[in-house]
Amino acid sequence: MVDYTADGRVAVITINRPQARNAVNPEVAQGIENALDRFESDPNVWVAILAGAPPMFCAGADLKAIAAGQADLLSTERGGFAGLVARERAKPLIAAVDGPALGGGAELVLACDLVVASRSAQFGFPEVSWSLVAAAGGLFRLGRKVPINVAMECILTGDPIEADRACAHGLVNVLCEPGEALAAARLLADRISANAPVAVRESRAVVLAGTPADDATAWALSRRAWETVGSSEDFREGPRAFVEKRLPRWTGH
């Protein structure tokens, strides 16, 4: 139900339940966690893409699983809902959204670092229509990505945000035509993986932790990142490649 493939420095994690709109059941939750474990532990893979088998990204929680008393199994101890939304990660994860991402599906998108979406994508939280709440991060993460009034409208009406509007408000990094989200996400992943992986990981961590922090904390985080990168082999390779006018050969160490 969750496929994992690696090609060069990039892995693709695909929710593969199109017959159930890629809804998250216990197998999907565990499958995503296992895929993330594999991605994070592989020193040769530096960026991952999260996708859904067409025509939908993810419809959120599988209501049939909930009705069967399996609600607790839709989360994992380390990752929270779908094994992802509360997961501590070190490497960049890109959401490739081709089609609707609703409820928990939109929360998976918000848990990623970057978003590539086709014009057929939608991002919505219909929970209030069924006397539910988006309790897997959507209620606080959406307003961090788009203006608070846009987030409030989406969450209180249950109406989705269309891809063009999501892009205009900064939720989407790359907007593409239907059917092209995965390919466009791969191009973005290649742009990231062309850079020094230790520097990428440390920079990501400081952006996430330092942006909402006070200046003193942000400076301390930046100094620690500089020290970590400075002790890596790639720290010496970068300037050497610049002087020798060649592409750097990163090792990730």
Please give the positions annotated as active site.
Answer: 107, 127
For tokens 């929970």, the residue is: 127
CA–CA gap between residue 55 and residue 173 (Å, rounded): 21
- Residues shown for the chain: 253
CA–CA gap between residue 60 and residue 151 (Å, rounded): 18
Beta bridge partners of 162: 122
CA distances from 173 to 78, 95, 165, 235, 246 (A): 28, 10, 12, 28, 29
Give the pair of three-digit tokens for residue 27.
């197998």
Compute the half-sphere exposure of residue 116: CA atoms within 13 Å on the CB side of its CA.
Answer: 22
Q: Are 45 and 11 in contact (CB under 8 A)?
A: yes
With 0-12 / 13-18 / 19 or more C-beta atoms within 10 angstroms meaning exposed / middle / buried, residue 99 is buried
Q: Are 19 and 159 in contact (CB under 8 A)?
A: no
